[in-house]
Amino acid sequence: MLHAVEDPDRFVVEGLTLGYRQGRAEWDIGRHEIVCVGEATTESPTGEDWLICLITDVHGTWLEASLYSPGRNDALQWLSNALNSSMEVKLAHAPPFRSRVMWPPEMKERPLFEYQVSPLRRAFSRGLRRLGFSGRGGVQTVHPGVLDYLWRNRNLIEPR
């Protein structure tokens, strides 16, 4: 009996749409659905700990995808063209619980997320993972400064 091999996660660029496929979880998004773009690092036992995050509304709803996935460069190029702004990633080897805004330009380099993680766990999470200890997930929310910016500029950024 043959078993279907699950497709690996990957980005898919199809004209005016950027997509991400990961097993049964998938998403597709158009330029006008994106209100903010950033990257983040997490604490993941599977190694998928470097993510691109696309905020889709002023309430802080987001989609995410692993930046280790095939098609990453095509996805970043698509975002750069769609948003008319260079999408340069910088957190490839950063410790867990780091984030930064990549777009819009007015918010660039500010933290994208706020994490509720104890300072001790934040400081030692990478070393503990190497020893085989996986920590409990922290609480991650879009940073209040980003939400404030999105809310104040909602007439300019929300899809019509």
Whether 71 and 12 have beta carbons less than 8 Å apart is answered as yes
Tally of structural domains, the chain = 1
With beta carbons less than 8 A apart as the criterion, state whether 52 and 64 touch: yes
CB 52, CB 59: distance < 8 Å: no
134 part of a folded domain? yes
User: Rounded to two decimals, what is the model's pTM?
Assistant: 0.81
Question: Which of helix, strand or coil describes residue 63?
Answer: strand
Q: Is there a domain that residue 5 lies in?
A: no
Q: Which domain holds residue 104?
A: 10-157
Does residue 3 belong to any structural domain of this protein? no
Q: What is the pLDDT along the chain (160 residues), one digit of tens a residue?
A: 444 455 679 999 999 999 999 988 899 999 999 999 999 998 876 777 899 999 999 999 999 999 999 999 999 999 999 999 999 999 998 988 999 999 999 999 999 999 986 665 555 555 554 555 555 556 789 999 999 999 999 887 655 4
Q: Is residue 4 part of a domain?
A: no
Using DSSP bridges, classify how beta strands 17-22 and 113-116 pair: parallel, antiparallel or unpaired: unpaired
